[in-house]
Each structure stands twice: as structure tokens, then as C-alpha cells.
Amino acid sequence: MTRFVLRRLLQSVVVLFGVTLVVFLLLQLVPGDPVRVALGTRFDQQTYDALRERSGLDRPLVAQYLSYVGHALTGDLGVSFRSGQPVTTIVLERLPATLSLAVTAVLLALLVAFPLGVLSAVRSGSALDHAARVFSQFGVSVPDFWMGIMGILLFAGVLGWLPPSGYVALTEDPARWASHVVLPATAVGLVTASILTRFIRSSVLEVLAEDYVRTAEAKGLRARIVVVRHVLRNALIPVVTVVAVQLASLVGGVIVIEVLFAWPGVGRLTYDAVQARDYPVLQGAVLFVAALFLLMNLLVDVLYARLDPRIGLR
């Protein structure tokens, strides 16, 4: 186990190096001078040269990249062109907002997808199964920002039950946080729920066709006991992977939803950094999301082996 974890951590470091290199090279292709964008329309040449020298943009590209990687190894991701604050501090301040939104969306998705996917498989061919498949098809066909817009129009504009946008920290006021997170989490969660429903249904159907399930039914066990004892445990093992990947992808993929609902998370931070050509912040945000993705994959592999002893860690 220890050797496996160490080997995966070493592989993750190599992948992160690759991420930093790809992002750095892509940023060189973006048109526009980030220093001019950061300074605005009015500035003198002395100020321009000072900021360019302080940010390291006056050095050759190879020197810039090696300097960035060297500082990143010590936890220093540079400073923002616009605010002058450390990038690590900025990203860590935004991370709780994104995590709270992503975790809430995944929990909502599981509350919908788990019973719906299992019942749809157990009662395959029934009206419930057809309804679940329609829901799943609808969810994967409609983008989450469209659901967000519809939610704002209905629940904030027409009914006035929920605020249309904004954010309150969970630790500051849980009730107000809940009122603000409902709409964005539901918009993202319904799409995730449709994906999970389809996956859970397929996984349960596959296990229901196994010989040991038919043997358990032939022994006279009640259908509910067969499902709970023999089907769910085996069917839900691969679902762990999908849930973890969905959670990690939501952390880095809710940019449109965070912009739509004025949610101050990492996605909104990435969007603002692109608009302002704030390269250090953009590189830092991408690096954080990539590191989180790799960490989630490592946890999934370890959890997978714990849930199914037939799977070894190699």
C-alpha cells in the first residue's frame, strides 16, 4: 500500500510538471500584453518597465518557466498582476466557495440518482424505468447554465423564493448560505444526477444478470434481501469512481455557473484571470484543480481496493 501510494504521488508530480508546461506554453500564444492590461489605459513607461521586471516577463521564456517551477516547488505560485497578492492566498480564499458548491451538487445528485438508478434497474421495463431514462436523457442533453437561467427566472424572478445570485459563507450564516446555494447546486446537480442515474442503472442491471444473484433468488431469498446483500455492494463499487471524478471535475468545471450566479469560487477566479490576462492567477488556479483531480483519483484507487479485495494495488 505504502509503495503504491508513493509511486502514484511521484507520477502525480510528473503530471503536474506537464500541466505547468502546457499552461505556460498556451499562455504564450494568447494575444495581448498582460502588463498593459493590468495597468489599464493610463501609465508611464517607468511604471510599465517596473511591473514587467517585477513579474519576470522581461526574461527569456525558459528562464521564466524554470523560475516559476522552482518557486512552485516551495509553494510560491507568484503574485497577481492586478492585486499584487500571493496567488496561493487568492486561490485558497476562493476554494471553500467552490468546494461547498461542488459537494452540495454531488450530494443532491446522489439523493436523486441512487434510488432512481437502482429502482429503474430492479423494475426494468416499468413506467418508472422509462421515466428514469427520460430524465437521464434530458439531463445529459440540457446544459447546466440553461437550467440555472430557468431557475433564476422561476424561483427568483416569478416566485421570489430565492436570491438570484450572490454568496454567503457557510460558517458566517448557514441559513443564508443554503438559500444562495440551492439554485446553482441544483442546476449542476441535476446534470450530474442524470449521468449517475444512467451509470447506476447499467451497473445494477449487470450485477442482476450474474449467476450468484440467480442462485440467491433460487434459494428462496426475498428480492429486497438479494438486492441489498448481493447486488448493491458489487454494483456500486464502480460508481465510487464516477462520483469522485464528477466531484473533481465540478471543482474545475463550474466556471459558467459561478459567473452566472456571481459565486466567488475558483471557476469565477479563473474567468476573471483570463479576462485580465492575470497569468500567475490563471496558472495557479489550473495547478490547484489539477492537483485536486490527481488526489481524488488516488483516493478512488485506494478505496476501490478496500471495497473489492479482488482488486490489488500495483
Each residue's pLDDT tens digit, 90-101 = 999 998 898 899
Condensed to tens digits (0 to 9), the pLDDT of residues 70-115 reads 888 888 888 888 888 899 999 999 988 988 998 999 899 999 998 9
Name the average pLDDT for the chain. 84
% of the chain with per-residue pLDDT over 90? 10
Residue 175 vs residues 33, 179, 180, 254: alpha-carbon distances, Å = 44, 6, 9, 23
Long-range contact pairs involving 50-54 (C-beta distance under 8 Å, separation at least 24): 51/81
| Confidence band of 310 (pLDDT split at 50, 70, 90) | low
Res. 314: pLDDT tops 70: no
- CA 261 to CA 224: how far, in whole Å? 42
- CA 28 to CA 80: how far, in whole Å? 17
Across 117-135, average pLDDT: 88
Q: Which of 113, 99, 119 is nearest to 167 (CA)?
A: 99
For residue 181, the model assigns a pLDDT of 92
- CA 80 to CA 276: how far, in whole Å? 10
Cell of 22: 502546457
Cell of 174: 448557514
Condensed to tens digits (0 to 9), the pLDDT of residues 6-44 reads 887 888 888 888 888 998 888 887 777 777 777 776 667
What CA dihedral angle connects 49, 33, 71 and 99, to 10 degrees? 140
Res. 241: pLDDT tops 80: no
Q: Supply the pTM of this predicted model.
A: 0.81
| Confidence band of 309 (pLDDT split at 50, 70, 90) | low
For residue 230, the model assigns a pLDDT of 75
CATH level 3 topology of 96-311: MetI-like fold (1.10.3720)
Across 288-300, average pLDDT: 84
- Considering 205-219, 228-242, 253-267, the range whose residues carry the highest mean pLDDT is 253-267
For residue 211, the model assigns a pLDDT of 83
| Confidence band of 313 (pLDDT split at 50, 70, 90) | low
Q: Which of 238, 157, 146, 152 is nearest to 196 (CA)?
A: 238
Domain extents in the chain = 1-87, 96-311
For residue 80, the model assigns a pLDDT of 86
Res. 165: pLDDT tops 60: yes
Could you tell me which residue, 6 or 308, shows the higher pLDDT?
Answer: 6
Res. 196: pLDDT tops 70: yes
Res. 303: pLDDT tops 80: no
% of the chain with per-residue pLDDT over 70? 96
| Confidence band of 311 (pLDDT split at 50, 70, 90) | low
Cell of 222: 426475498
